[in-house]
A and B are shown apart, each in its own frame.
Chain A
Amino acid sequence: MALNIDSLTASQIASGIAAGDFTATEVAHASLDAIEARDGAVKAFLQVSPELALDAAAHIDAARAAGEALPPLAGVPLAIKDNMNLVGTRTTCASRMLENYESVYTATCVERMLQAGCLPMGKANMDEFAFGSSTESSAFHRTNNPWDTERVPGGSSGGSAAAVAAGEVALSLGSDTGGSIRQPASLCGVVGLKPTYGAVSRYGVVAFGSSLDQVGPFGRTVEDVALAMNALVGAGHDPYDCTSQDCPVDFLEHLEDSIEGKRVGIIPSFMEAEGLTLEVKQAVERAAHELEAQGAKLVEVDLPHLDAAIAAYYVIGPAEAFSNLARFDGIRYGYQEEGCANLTDQSSLSRAHGFGAEAKRRQMLGAYLLSSGVYDKYYYAAQKARTLITQDYNRAYEQVDTILMPASPRTAFKFGEISDPTQMYLSDLYTISINICGNGGISVPLGLGGDTHLPVSAQLVGPAFKDRQLLTFARALERGIAGGMSVAPDFAGKGGEL
């Protein structure tokens, strides 16, 4: 019987290649075939890189033929968010500004995934420069949610989530500044982890908010996400990123541990928040009961300063974004307006026409917030709120091991449904505070919602550098409720035969 690539987890692919059941080259072809068959409807990819994938596969097959030990993710197809540099691909950030930008170096996170044996299948769509929660702000095309192609996949890492949900790849990399991994993972029904700030190097990932951005993996199972984390953090501190830290743990260890006796926090106000849909609320409650059934104790926790999170985020994020995007002036790289008589015109028009609306809005807001007299009020207050929110979480973690909450207040919404940018900002309610304090958070699929029949999920968050423990809780939920979400049914088995 024919085996489809989408029925295999990353660990099954790697062990199948090691066992000689199939070759890495066959896997690469199967993944390319699945992309060919499915991505016309999903549009998760901005670029597919068959040469790089087949080349990497050939190396793995040669290594196996030579009797060498294979790396842990040997032959696993990987999609890479298009804000990560990889030599041999363009890094566009889904922006006209970087439409033709050739990567001249490779990001550390990508390098480490390739070292672990992954096959780089291509670059995934995203909101332009990661500004957004629906991938609708991509300058090139929208990405459709594999569970309902009339709906958004979430964002900003929508392409990375959709590629995994559609079974085109087993793993993908995303980045999360205010929920950009956890929210699309939730909307697409896959596992998505935002590790603690500093766990994964940001070197080579085009910055949005430098103090908020963190790279993390998507997978269809918690184990796959653990394998990816081993690859991303295994080599320790990246000397090219001052804010990266050593957290040398094996994420597979303790994955199957019992959670008996552990304490799980619930924030009552979060469960009653405006905008939280009943089906999501019920799913999170189901998750709470499941954890309780496995021996965990539920504890109500109070985080009095959480209300400040969104405002703090929309001060810090745009301020850092303005600064980080200042370099795009059309001189050294990027879109350059032709025929300008002087430098001011060239810069202003290159930026006006290279950036999309949301990228311009955020930079304008940031430039205002950093201006003399305003900085002292807003930016300072936001960083103080950050201190208070971090203290809130730290106090809560004296009582509990993890906190359970929604990842997204609702399931996938339709294209164009949220058109007011400031309304879109409010949809990040559950994810933002985690970026503010730099802790880890994971979105775990919990099946389909009772009303929309679209993926629902829960989010588990934990203390800094306790991301392994998050995976243990996530695995407990996966074991108890979802059993590992399957590929979106409309795409399962389409192309991709091994």
Chain B
Amino acid sequence: MKELSEVLQDWEAVIGLEIHTELTALDTKMFCNCKLSHDDEPNANVCPVCLGLPGALPVPNKKAIESIVKAGLATNCEIQKHSMFYRKHYFYPDMAKNFQTTQGPVAFAMYGHLDLDVTGQGAAERPDCAFGAAEAESLASASANAEGLSTFMTSQMREGNQRAGHLASYDASNMQMPERRADGCYTVPIRILRIHMEEDAAKMVHVGGAEGRITAAAESLVDYNRCGTPLIELVTEPDLRTPEEARLFMEKLRRIFVTLGISDCSMEKGSMRCDGNVSLRRRGETKLGTKTELKNLNSFKSLHDGLAYEICRQAEVLEEGGIIYQETRHWEPSRKRTVVMRVKETADDYRLFPDPDLAPFDLNDAFIENCREQIPELPDAKRARFEADFGIKAADAEQIAGDPAYADFFEKAAAGTSGKEAQTVANLLVNELVGYLKSAGTALDESGIAPVQVAALAKLLASDAISSNQAHEVFELMAQTGDDPNKIVDERGMRQVSDTGALQPIVDEVLANCADQAQQYRDGNQKVLGFLVGQCMKASRGKGNPKLFNELLRASLS
């Protein structure tokens, strides 16, 4: 198979994502009052409603509705005041009622977008030919051609008819076509068709067959604990063009949802899941190719690699004169390939109709404003503020602002600082803290590390009282003991001597003892300076400030 970079020169990959996020921050299920839990024993959290017992009726969870409105507002969507829940029918044991309660043509949130900053090496995935006017054409034709249940509902079902001209509904004022900047980076708007509310299905365990695979299983066991978990499904327009963009979109969305506090967004635990739709067309072609749907993209890496593989696979098939079938494919990360799960011969007929048991929604301004007020500062705004107020590097600001716990920690630790000291705090967070928590296997709020400790450590480091090597050591000690870094440094005599008066005699002594090396430096061998600094450090028993030794040596030798 060809490499992705080569494929994308000739072919345009048209990618859309469907992202399911469980609202794990809630206490109870979508339509009943059963506990939400990932860990309980099978069928421990069930009631007449989520087991679909005869006569049971659903009641929507208000906090879930607030959560999706917040998600919509945070992704620049239009909140649809009038909407209804629908019943989507399919016979499968993971749906206790044999229908899923979901939304129809009108979702709570529609026609939003997120601007995606594509930076770093991944920015190179999008070839130079895919910018500017060509891209505008590409976006327009991709959306118009895109098919799927969501788009079908919006354009074909009567209740969505009034929205048929939805492509004009996007607020285009902030949407610029991507241009590559001098550093290779670019920003691209990704439109969001809709975010709708639905309920999750039960978990099934397939037993008796090899590898727990469904086709070989002798029987399956059903656990309804997850059945009825509130789920929001976000559907993008097919605006993504590279696997990296898909990955970055998912990351960005995750940061927003985590900041909103509506979900833990754990891809590992399955509380955030992503399916990818991908098709190829020749560059310049306006008609869409046949798409495949990719499942099991259960990590950011899988999302990227699965899409990359699928793009290359499709290109190979097409270049050999083959055809792509509309099918669902499963990404196998261990074998780095996608395999067919199911071929869609005809479109599924889910017999959608408005759920008569659930009253329609007519959200008023007060409800929406109340949701808006609950939205904390979002990652993009926070990043910009961190850059402006603290003067820290863009990449660090983005990383810290993307996680509410880190952002909060940073703000406390860096309070009242800016420039070098603030950047030092950021460095400690991004390098020391992340690494420590990872190796200790603990979360920030459980680690016991206080912002004031990191602030003190940053001060020591920024004032050259300790070296960065020492800072690493102090960080470990302070994390383990909970002590003030000043105390650690003092007790262990780690404080660097930065007094030139105290260091100059050492420099003089070293130069006297190493006359040969001093002469080599004077003769133009710059490298020998490192040796001399080392000698000074040795003579000061490690307490001298190496930067100062460096400066003093240069001055003495010049």
Decide if A and B touch, CB cutoff 8 A: yes
Binding site for B on A (CB under 8 A): 83-85, 91, 93, 98, 101, 104-105, 107, 202-207, 209-211, 239-243, 319-320, 322-323, 326-329, 331-333, 343, 347, 367, 370-372, 375-376, 379-380
Which chain A positions have C-beta within 8 A of B352? 370, 375
Sorted nearest first, the 10 A-B pairs with minimum C-beta distance are A326-B98, A211-B356, A210-B356, A370-B351, A206-B54, A204-B55, A327-B97, A327-B52, A372-B349, A206-B55
Residue of B nearest to A343 (CB): B93
A124 to chain B, nearest CB (A): 16
CB pair B158 A327 closer than 8 Å: no
Per the bound structure, the CA–CA distance linking A347 and B98 in Å amounts to: 11
Per the bound structure, the CA–CA distance linking A498 and B441 in Å amounts to: 76
B47 to chain A, nearest CB (A): 8
Per the bound structure, the CA–CA distance linking A477 and B97 in Å amounts to: 45
Which chain A positions have C-beta within 8 A of B91? 326, 329, 347
A-binding segment of B56-64, B175-183, B299-307: B56-64
Per the bound structure, the CA–CA distance linking A38 and B392 in Å amounts to: 89
Which chain B positions have C-beta within 8 A of A83? 55
CB pair B93 A204 closer than 8 Å: no
CB pair A319 B55 closer than 8 Å: no
CB pair A240 B51 closer than 8 Å: no
CB pair B351 A243 closer than 8 Å: no
Interface residues on chain B, size class: 20 to 34
How many A-B Cβ pairs are below 8 Å?
A: 99
Per the bound structure, the CA–CA distance linking A367 and B222 in Å amounts to: 26
Per the bound structure, the CA–CA distance linking A205 and B87 in Å amounts to: 19
Which chain A positions have C-beta within 8 A of B351? 322-323, 367, 370-372, 375
Interface residues of B in 327-373 (CB under 8 A from A): 347, 349, 351-353, 355-359
CB pair A333 B55 closer than 8 Å: no
Q: Given A206-B54, A209-B356, A242-B358, 5 other A-B contacts at CB below 8 A? A: A206-B55, A240-B59, A241-B57, A323-B87, A333-B54
- Whether, in the assembled complex, B53 has its beta carbon less than 8 Å from a beta carbon of chain A, the answer is yes
Interface residues of B in 106-162 (CB under 8 A from A): 157-158
CB pair A326 B97 closer than 8 Å: yes
- Whether, in the assembled complex, B436 has its beta carbon less than 8 Å from a beta carbon of chain A, the answer is no
- Whether, in the assembled complex, B96 has its beta carbon less than 8 Å from a beta carbon of chain A, the answer is yes
CB pair B54 A91 closer than 8 Å: yes
- Whether, in the assembled complex, B89 has its beta carbon less than 8 Å from a beta carbon of chain A, the answer is yes
Which chain B positions have C-beta within 8 A of A107? 55
Q: Among A202, A203, A329, A372, which residue has its beta carbon within 8 angstroms of that of B98? A: A329
CB pair B98 A104 closer than 8 Å: no
Known: A327-B96, A327-B98, A370-B351. A242 touches B357 (CB 8 A): yes
CB pair B58 A203 closer than 8 Å: no
Per the bound structure, the CA–CA distance linking A211 and B354 in Å amounts to: 11
Residue of B nearest to A319 (CB): B353
CB pair A242 B57 closer than 8 Å: yes
Which chain B positions have C-beta within 8 A of A343? 93, 220
Residue of B nearest to A334 (CB): B54
- Whether, in the assembled complex, B99 has its beta carbon less than 8 Å from a beta carbon of chain A, the answer is yes
Q: Among A93, A105, A240, A331, which residue has its beta carbon within 8 angstroms of that of B53? A: A105
Q: Among A105, A211, A371, which residue has its beta carbon within 8 angstroms of that of B349? A: A371
Residue of A nearest to B98 (CB): A326
Known: A105-B48, A370-B351. A203 touches B55 (CB 8 A): yes
Residue of A nearest to B32 (CB): A240
A232 to chain B, nearest CB (A): 16
CB pair A242 B158 closer than 8 Å: no
Per the bound structure, the CA–CA distance linking A239 and B33 in Å amounts to: 12
Which chain A positions have C-beta within 8 A of B52? 327, 332
Per the bound structure, the CA–CA distance linking A211 and B48 in Å amounts to: 20
CB pair B55 A85 closer than 8 Å: yes
Which chain A positions have C-beta within 8 A of B48? 104-105, 204
Known: A105-B53, A323-B351, A371-B351. A242 touches B58 (CB 8 A): yes
Residue of A nearest to B224 (CB): A332
Known: A327-B52, A332-B51. A243 touches B99 (CB 8 A): no
Which chain A positions have C-beta within 8 A of B87? 323
Residue of B nearest to A368 (CB): B351
Per the bound structure, the CA–CA distance linking A376 and B353 in Å amounts to: 10
CB pair B158 A203 closer than 8 Å: no
CB pair B56 A203 closer than 8 Å: yes
Residue of B nearest to A328 (CB): B54
Q: Supply 8 A–B pairs (Cβ within 8 Å), ascending by A.
A: A91-B55, A203-B55, A242-B358, A329-B93, A332-B53, A333-B53, A371-B351, A372-B351
Which chain A positions have C-beta within 8 A of B99? 323, 326
CB pair A326 B89 closer than 8 Å: yes
Which chain B positions have C-beta within 8 A of A379? 353
CB pair B59 A101 closer than 8 Å: no
CB pair B56 A242 closer than 8 Å: no
Q: Among A327, A375, A380, which residue has its beta carbon within 8 angstroms of that of B54? A: A327
CB pair B158 A376 closer than 8 Å: yes
Per the bound structure, the CA–CA distance linking A105 and B220 in Å amounts to: 27
B48 to chain A, nearest CB (A): 5
Interface centre among B54, B97, B359 (most CB of A within 10 A): B54
CB pair A203 B57 closer than 8 Å: yes
Which chain A positions have C-beta within 8 A of B157? 376
CB pair A323 B89 closer than 8 Å: yes
Which chain B positions have C-beta within 8 A of A241? 57, 59
Per the bound structure, the CA–CA distance linking A207 and B87 in Å amounts to: 15
Per the bound structure, the CA–CA distance linking A85 and B56 in Å amounts to: 10
Interface centre among A107, A210, A322, A327 (most CB of B within 10 A): A327
CB pair B353 A243 closer than 8 Å: no
Q: Among A240, A323, A327, which residue has its beta carbon within 8 angstroms of that of B57? A: A240
CB pair A205 B93 closer than 8 Å: no
Q: Among A101, A204, A329, A371, which residue has its beta carbon within 8 angstroms of that of B56? A: A204
Which chain B positions have C-beta within 8 A of A326? 89, 91, 97-99
Per the bound structure, the CA–CA distance linking A479 and B56 in Å amounts to: 40
Which chain A positions have C-beta within 8 A of B89? 323, 326, 370
The proximity string for B residues 53-82 relative to A, scoring 1 for CB distances below 8 Å and 0 otherwise, is 111111110000000000000000000000
Which chain B positions have C-beta within 8 A of A375? 351-353
CB pair A242 B55 closer than 8 Å: no
Q: Among B56, B349, B353, which residue has its beta carbon within 8 angstroms of that of A323? A: B353
Per the bound structure, the CA–CA distance linking A115 and B60 in Å amounts to: 27
Residue of A nearest to B60 (CB): A242
Which chain B positions have C-beta within 8 A of A371? 349, 351
Per the bound structure, the CA–CA distance linking A304 and B220 in Å amounts to: 55
B160 to chain A, nearest CB (A): 11
Which chain B positions have C-beta within 8 A of A84? 55
Which chain A positions have C-beta within 8 A of B349? 371-372
A407 to chain B, nearest CB (A): 25
CB pair A243 B59 closer than 8 Å: no
Per the bound structure, the CA–CA distance linking A98 and B54 in Å amounts to: 10
B204 to chain A, nearest CB (A): 11
Residue of B nearest to A351 (CB): B91
Q: Among A101, A104, A105, A242, which residue has its beta carbon within 8 angstroms of that of B359? A: A242
Interface residues of B in 218-238 (CB under 8 A from A): 220, 222
CB pair A85 B54 closer than 8 Å: yes
Which chain B positions have C-beta within 8 A of A203? 55-57
A379 to chain B, nearest CB (A): 6
Per the bound structure, the CA–CA distance linking A343 and B206 in Å amounts to: 13
B468 to chain A, nearest CB (A): 61
Per the bound structure, the CA–CA distance linking A173 and B413 in Å amounts to: 68
Residue of A nearest to B46 (CB): A332
Per the bound structure, the CA–CA distance linking A207 and B97 in Å amounts to: 12
A238 to chain B, nearest CB (A): 9
A175 to chain B, nearest CB (A): 11
Residue of A nearest to B52 (CB): A327
Which chain B positions have C-beta within 8 A of A332? 51-53, 96
Known: A104-B48, A326-B89. A93 touches B54 (CB 8 A): yes
Residue of A nearest to B350 (CB): A372
Which chain A positions have C-beta within 8 A of B56? 105, 203-204
B209 to chain A, nearest CB (A): 13
Interface centre among A333, A370, A372 (most CB of B within 10 A): A372
Per the bound structure, the CA–CA distance linking A328 and B358 in Å amounts to: 21
